[in-house]
Amino acid sequence: MKEKDLRLHRKGFSIIELLVVIGIIGVLLAALLPYVGDACGASTSLRATTARTTTAAAAGSPFALCKGSPNSERSECILFFNA
């Protein structure tokens, strides 16, 4: 009778219960893995598009090379235009 009482009041999980939980987590991760790969590909594509847009905007805009502080009266600036 004492042995039966110990089985009823056990603490923790059995190895079978732990393996089932690990299996369920593995199946869920396997189902999400393709979506993670698609998101990484989309972010790489977006990063490349942003870099191209930034480069194109910088190539068409004028820029200046300044000596001294831009807010001071004695700053010397040379303005360049890319055509």
Cβ atoms of residues 62 and 81 within 8 Å: yes
φ and ψ at residue 75, rounded to 5 degrees: -75, 140
Cβ atoms of residues 34 and 52 within 8 Å: no
List the structure tokens of 4: 């039966």
pTM of the model: 0.45
The sign one gets for the Cα dihedral 8, 10, 11, 17 is: negative
List the structure tokens of 10: 């056990």
Tell me the pLDDT tens digit for each residue of 18-73: 999 999 999 999 999 888 888 888 888 888 888 888 877 766 666 556 665 656 56
